[in-house]
């Protein structure tokens, strides 16, 4: 078999010696054969100044340390095609979303689709399917099935343990899943928003090693003090970078970066490279930044991703500078997969997998009789959506009536929200929500964490029904309707992902997003991403599942 070799010269960013020096990298058959220092004529004296050379800076590739690929609305192959243009060579990916829809078959779909391209997907075994018993999901994974997944070499860890009450109260199924991961030497990811003090220590002592849900520095310091690693999240909806980035000064070996959920339009604009640029701009030492973006995930999850050492797999990138982190080239397994914003990963054929079996609805099914709605102090409980956060607040606000029916009020921004069971015909769950600021029409989506029923918000029942039915016709998707216009992006893979070209999906999504903001009036930065979390019961305080309005603090229905 013929040997394939090449060399590349540039300013090597050595993250272990914490040096930057001119070097020539010799790659033979996908591995780094040698790293040879070159004369110091091209050495750079400063690393945080805006410096560039003809050859650029050679550094390890970026890793997204916690991401649900499904939230990009792209299958893994298409996610990879875009991500490599930003210097991402791998992900730590939780297939929790498709598992809630399609179970084991969904996880297998993600693994096999990911293998179609040259990219380092590292999938986890979903720990909480279904996430709760208070919603209808399409599948369940018990401890036996989780064990079977963990035994696969492609499965690197136990995905986020959202059932933190189950950990604290030592639920047998929960503890068996954690024990199975530990027995195989695989780490367990955490998910415990707001957990502090003794409860946080007990959760961490159960063997849970990371958390990406911290939204204050104080909470993160609490968890760091008990030995946990913190993943700083900056996605399309949840944005915790500003609150947490200062921690990287003092805890460079225990901080990682992630997006968690990233919609296709924002993925086209950038990925982990954006977080590196922002961290350097805030005065964080570039070696600490790159340790979080490149080294820590490889070491924590034991990933087969190279770090620019002799003998490592040749996974590396070439950046124009160490300030903006504009990527010139991305190499994976010694192959050039992207150059100057152009991806060399090709679109692959994909046969959809899905579970979608509900009939179209009528506007009459969305009516709310005041006698059927819980009142507190004569007012209605309303979900308050918060910009850039997964948590919501519970408000008590004045109702608007049409006869004996509760209706939306666009003037006060108290709008009707509904969740429709996608798996079989069932009564529609209804509530009210604030901060979407729609002035007309409605939006709907089958991307609705964690069970992915259809969630919709609108100013009138006719618009709501129209938006929901567009999604049902496509067997999944995101839609928006006004008085005279209808837009939809079909997502036939589990009702979560498109089979199309990633850039075209991003273009269509961008158009729908702009329509929702410019014509319907939403003031949210990412209205569909925010909408997708309004049925996420494991994040307090008030949410809506297909079974009813849910109090996330008391873990019970209103």
**CATH code at 280?**
3.20.20.140
d(CA 348, CA 165): 41
Task: Determine, yes or no, domain membership for 355.
Answer: no
Claim to verify: residue 510 and residue 401 sit in the same structural domain: yes
In a domain? residue 48: no
Query: Is the same domain home to 394 and 515?
Result: yes
Tell me: cis bond preceding 296? Omega within 30 of 0 counts.
no
Domain ends where: 303, 319, 342? 303
- How far is it, in rounded angstroms, from Cα 336 to Cα 309? 18
8 A C-beta contact, residue 432 and residue 417: yes
- Count of residues in the chain: 558
- Same domain flag for 386 and 299: no
Q: Which H/E stretch holds residue 394?
A: strand 392-397
pLDDT value at residue 41: 58
What pLDDT was estimated at residue 2?
64
Residue reference for tokens 């069970």: 451
Q: What is the DSSP string of 457-471?
A: EESSHHHHHHHHHHH
Q: Point out the domain boundary residue: 268, 288, 303.
A: 303
Predicted pLDDT at 64: 98
% of the chain residues with pLDDT over 90: 88
Burial of 52 (0-12, 13-18, 19+ CB in 10 A): middle
Domain that holds residue 494: 363-557
Cα(333)–Cα(356) distance, integer angstroms: 38
pLDDT at 388: 74
Q: Are residues 375 and 298 in the same domain?
A: no
Q: What is the mean pLDDT of residues 337-364?
A: 96
- pLDDT average, residue stretch 139-154: 97
Cα 360 versus chain centre, distance: 29
Same domain, 283 and 386: no
Question: In this structure, is residue 377 part of a structural domain?
Answer: yes
Residue 551 confidence (pLDDT): 87
Instruction: Give tens-digit pLDDT for 252-277.
Output: 999 999 999 999 999 999 999 999 99
CA distance 533 to 233: 15
Percent of the chain with pLDDT over 70: 97
**Which residue bears the tokens 């401890």?**
143
CA separation for the pair 500, 72 (Å, rounded)? 12
Burial class (CB in 10 A: 0-12, 13-18, 19+), 263: buried
- Collect all residues with Cβ–Cβ distance below 8 Å to 25 and sequence separation of at least 6: 7, 8, 9, 10, 12, 32, 34, 35, 58, 308, 314, 316
Residues 253 and 385 in one domain: no
Structure token digits, residue 32: 């780094």
CA 69, distance to chain mean position in Å, is 7
Establish if 546 belongs to a structural domain.
yes
Q: Smallest Cα–Cα separation from 434: which of 453, 416, 456, 455?
A: 416
Q: How many domains does the chain have?
A: 2
- Residue 520 DSSP code: S
Tell me the two tokens of residue 332. 């994976």
User: Across all residues in the chain, what is the average pLDDT?
Assistant: 94
Instruction: Give kind and range of the element (H or E) at residue 371.
Output: none
Rounded to an integer, what distance in angstroms lies between the CA atom of residue 118 and that of residue 225? Answer: 38
Secondary structure of residue 44 in the 3-state scheme: coil
Question: Are β-strands 5-14 and 19-28 bridged in parallel, bridged antiparallel, or unpaired?
Answer: antiparallel
pLDDT digits (tens, 9 = 90+) for 515-545: 999 999 999 998 998 999 999 888 889 999 9
My answer on whether 295 and 163 are in the same domain is yes
Residues of 450-460 as b/e, b for ≥16 C-beta within 10 angstroms?
A: bbbbbbbbbbb
Structural element, H or E, at residue 208: none
User: For residues 479 and 558, which has the higher predicted lDDT (pLDDT)?
Assistant: 479
H or E, element range at 204:
helix 197-205
Over residues 140-158, the mean pLDDT reads 97
The three-point CA angle 158-93-334 to 5° equals 120
pLDDT digits (tens, 9 = 90+) for 410-448: 999 999 999 999 999 999 999 999 999 999 999 999 999
Q: Are 384 and 434 in contact (CB under 8 A)?
A: yes
* Residue 250 in this model has a pLDDT that exceeds 90: yes
Which DSSP letter does residue 295 get?
I
Provide the β-strand partners of residue 481: 442, 486
Residues 284, 211 share a domain: yes
* Dist CA 135 CA 133 (whole Å): 6
* Residue 57 falls inside a structural domain: no
pLDDT digits (tens, 9 = 90+) for 20-62: 999 999 999 999 999 999 887 544 444 444 444 567 999 999 9
Boundary of a domain, candidates 303, 323, 351: 303
| 248 in the same domain as 145 | yes
**387 and 241 housed in the same domain:** no
Q: Is residue 538 part of a domain?
A: yes
Task: Give yes or no: residues 299 and 367 share one domain.
Answer: no
Structural domain contains residue 94: yes
Q: Is the peptide bond before 392 cis (omega within 30 degrees of 0)?
A: no
Residue 36 inside a domain? The answer is: no
Same domain as 393, residue 252: no
Helix (H, G, I), strand (E, B) or coil at 1: coil
């Amino acid at each position: 078999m013929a040997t394939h070799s090449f060399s590349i010269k540039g300013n090597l960013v050595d993250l272990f010696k914490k040096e930057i020096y001119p070097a020539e990298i010799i790659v033979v058959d996908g591995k780094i054969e040698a790293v040879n220092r070159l004369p110091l004529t091209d050495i750079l004296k400063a690393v945080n100044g805006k410096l560039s050379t003809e050859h650029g800076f050679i550094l390890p590739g970026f890793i997204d340390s916690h991401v649900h690929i499904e939230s990009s609305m792209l299958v893994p192959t298409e996610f990879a095609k875009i991500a490599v243009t930003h210097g991402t060579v791998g992900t730590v990916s939780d297939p929790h979303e498709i598992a809630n829809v399609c179970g084991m078959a969904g996880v297998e779909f993600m693994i096999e689709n990911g293998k179609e391209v040259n990219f380092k997907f590292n999938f986890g075994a979903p720990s909480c399917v279904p996430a709760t018993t208070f919603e209808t999901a399409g599948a369940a994974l018990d401890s036996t099935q989780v064990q079977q997944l963990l035994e696969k070499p492609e499965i690197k860890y136990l995905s986020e343990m959202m059932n933190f009450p189950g950990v604290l109260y030592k639920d047998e199924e929960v503890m068996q899943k954690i024990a199975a991961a530990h027995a195989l030497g695989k780490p367990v990811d955490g998910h415990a928003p707001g957990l502090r003090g003794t409860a946080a220590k007990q959760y961490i002592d159960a063997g849970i090693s990371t958390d990406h849900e911290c939204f204050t520095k104080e909470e993160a310091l609490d968890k760091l003090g008990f030995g946990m690693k913190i993943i700083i999240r900056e996605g399309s909806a949840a944005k915790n970078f500003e609150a947490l980035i200062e921690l990287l000064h003092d805890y460079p070996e225990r901080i990682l970066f992630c997006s968690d959920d990233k919609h296709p339009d924002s993925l086209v604009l950038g990925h982990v490279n954006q977080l590196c640029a922002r961290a350097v701009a805030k005065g964080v030492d570039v070696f600490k930044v790159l340790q979080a973006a490149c080294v820590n995930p490889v070491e924590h999850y034991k990933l087969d991703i190279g770090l620019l050492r002799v003998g490592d797999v040749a996974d590396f990138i070439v950046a124009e500078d160490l300030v903006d982190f504009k990527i010139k080239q991305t190499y994976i397994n010694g192959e050039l997969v992207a150059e100057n914003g152009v991806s060399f990963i090709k679109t692959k054929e994909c046969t959809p997998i899905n579970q979608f079996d509900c009939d179209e609805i009528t506007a009459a099914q969305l009516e709310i009789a005041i006698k059927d709605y819980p009142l507190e102090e004569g007012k209605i409980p309303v979900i308050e959506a918060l910009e850039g956060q997964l948590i919501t607040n519970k408000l008590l606000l004045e109702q608007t009536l049409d006869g004996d029916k509760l209706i939306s009020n666009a003037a006060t921004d108290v709008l009707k929200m509904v969740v429709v069971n996608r798996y079989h015909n069932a009564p529609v769950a209804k509530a009210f929500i604030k901060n979407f600021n729609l002035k007309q029409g409605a939006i709907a989506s089958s991307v609705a964490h964690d069970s992915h029923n259809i969630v919709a918000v609108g100013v009138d029942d006719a618009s709501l029904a129209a938006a929901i039915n567009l999604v049902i016709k496509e067997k999944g998707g995101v839609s928006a309707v006004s008085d005279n216009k209808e837009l939809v992006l079909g997502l036939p893979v589990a009702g979560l992902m498109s089979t199309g070209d990633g850039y075209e999906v991003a273009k269509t999504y961008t158009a729908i997003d702009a329509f929702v903001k410019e014509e319907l009036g939403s003031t949210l930065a990412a209205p569909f991403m925010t909408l997708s979390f309004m049925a996420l019961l494991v994040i307090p305080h008030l949410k809506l599942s297909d079974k009813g309005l849910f109090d996330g603090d008391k873990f019970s229905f209103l």
